[in-house]
Chain A
């Protein structure tokens, strides 16, 4: 079984540019969440999508947006990149079931903004 896959694995962008990160969840999982992990910190929640609808949004500026497609894959978009956006971006796939939501993480996209 394929796990959570993210692309690209590494990315270098210039300040002010736009970036799109992609995530394919585990087959059968309808929930995708995005997290930002700055070096030396724990992951911070950005968005959750379930059945193509936004279910949660963390404390991030409007430059961050996301969407989920009919096949449950997801994109995270970041506009007007800042140096502080440099981080590991993690996608988590969940099977939302009563009483249990275990999140499985992809390998991440390492974004460097120069």
Chain B
């Protein structure tokens, strides 16, 4: 069974601190996505990681992909309150009998940044 596991599922941080969210997946895939979701809202695309060793940064967020370890990380630097949201990673099912563009999501990491 294809699994995408995120940890932690809940994360409470102080402003200014650093932390990493982990995303493990159980099949070979060279495409991994990170999304942000605010309460009651839809999914906002943050990063698309397309190859082993890919690293992308946007503001205080940096995502990386290790396809050999089947691991992606989302690193938060000097957290601010505006980053409070739920973060999802997703893997493309193309290498698991699915079709390109069919995504399997993790359960999400609910991040709360407190002053």
Which positions in A face B, CB cutoff 8 Å?
31, 33, 35, 41-45, 48, 50, 55-56, 58, 90, 92, 94, 96, 99-108
Contacts and interface: CB of A to CB of B under 8 A. Distances in A.
Interface residues of B, number: 26
Interface of B: 4, 31, 33, 35, 41-45, 48, 50, 88, 90, 92-93, 98-108
A42 B107 contact: yes
Contact of A100 (B35, B43, B50, B106): B50
Nearest to A102: B48
B33 to A, nearest CB: 7
Nearest to B108: A42
B101 A94 contact: yes
Most B CB atoms within 10 A — which of A41, A45, A99, A104? Answer: A45
Given A99-B50, A100-B50, A105-B43, A48 B105 contact: no
5 contacts: A43-B105, A45-B103, A45-B104, A50-B101, A101-B101
B33 A56 contact: no
A101 B104 contact: no
A108 B35 CA distance: 15
